[in-house]
Structures are given as structure tokens and as C-alpha cells.
Structure 1
Amino acid sequence: MLADKIRTRRKVLGISQQKLAKISGIAQSSISRYETGDVDISLNYILKFAEVLECSPAYLISEELGLDTEQIQAPITRKELSALRTHAKEILAIVGE
């Protein structure tokens, strides 16, 4: 689940919610709600979390998309992240949001 992956990845990297908030520009209260699964996360925030948490957006949402996590754990490159941001609307159309 996306919420679990954000929380787990943050802890693996040794980043507190407060530090993640400072680095990402996302409010700590929002991060807390995202990590508990209380609210939905926008694609822009998924991309921001992926960048800060040094993983791919596909890794974060793999379960929601029915993808095999083992095949997509490699960190995303800045070039890939830039391409994802550029093509966000097409990506949303593919995943059905």
C-alpha cells in the first residue's frame, strides 16, 4: 500500500516526518495523513515523495497498480523523474485517474 511504502521508505532512510516535510515542502500534518492512508495523494506529491525518498513513483504505487515490487525497486534517476513530470497527464490516463 502507498501509505506503508512512504512510511517504510522514510524510516529506511532515517528521515523524520518533520525532516521530510522540510525537504519536500509538504506539510508534516499532510505527511502524517498520507502515511496513515487517511487521504488520497496527488500525482505531484507522489512524484515529490519518490524524489525525496530516492525511489521510483512506480515502486510507491506498485501495489495499487498490481505490479511486482521486486521488479521496480531501483531508484529513479532525475532524468526519469523529469520525464514523469513532463508526461504526468498521459501517465494519469494510463493508470486511470
Structure 2
Amino acid sequence: MSEYRKAKRHIEVSVGDSVRIVRELQELSQNELAEITGIPQSTLSAIENNRVNLGVERAKILARALKCHPAVLVFPGWDINQESAA
């Protein structure tokens, strides 16, 4: 049997990626999410493409609309084990 290397279990996810992933899991388009939240579709696109910072207030609005905790959107790569070692 040849040697192999295990696949990584974690991937890097940006804030924009987390917003897009949760939105898509909710089966919402950017336009639909814009209607629900009042955040312009162009701003949602910029957030998802990491061109605009999410910010606390937008995170709260999006979290309510996407039925998740704001931390899911703001801290997608948080690793408690790594942070506690710092």
C-alpha cells in the first residue's frame, strides 16, 4: 500500500464566503435577501466578494434574515483551540 496524506478537514472561509454559503443554504438569491433586509443587492455582492466590510449592524440584520447567529457570519474561521493557545 502506498503512503498517502490525509485530506485537510478545514478550509479557510472568509466573511464574504460565510454570508454567501448561509444565503445559498437558505435558497435565497442576493435580490431576495436584499428585499428581506433592506440592504442593497450591490452591497450584498460587495460583502460576499470581500470588497466591503460586513460590520456589526449589517451582521445583525443578515443573521436575523438568515436565521443564524451573527458570529457565524463575522467569525467563520474561529478556532477556539488556536485562540486559547495564543
TM-score by length of 2: 0.71
- The alpha-carbon deviation at position 61 of structure 1 amounts to 1.8
| Secondary structure at the counterpart of residue 34 of structure 1 | helix
Of all paired residues, the percent bearing the same amino acid is 31
Runs in 1 of length 4+ with deviation above 6 angstroms?
none
Tell me which structure has the larger Cα radius of gyration: 2
Structure 1: distance between partners of 2:23 and 2:48: 10
Counterpart for residue 12 of structure 1? 25
Kept in 1: contact 2:54–2:74 (CA 8 A) = no
Q: 2:50 aligned with 1:37, yes or no?
A: yes
Larger RCO, structures 1/2 (Cα 8 Å, 6+ apart): 2
1:44-74 deviation line (CA, Å, top 9, x unaligned): 100001110110011112236x345xxxxxx
- State the distance in 1 between where 2:74 and 2:54 align: 11
Unpaired segments ≥5 residues, structure 2: 1-13, 81-86
Q: Offset at 1:32?
A: 0.4
Equivalent AA in structure 1 for residue 35 of structure 2: K
- Structure with bigger helix share is 1
Residues in 2 aligned to 1:63 and 1:26: alpha-carbon distance in whole angstroms: 21
Structure 1 unaligned segments of length 5 or more: list them: 69-97
- Aligned residue pairs: how many? 67
Root-mean-square deviation (CA, aligned residues, Å) is: 1.4
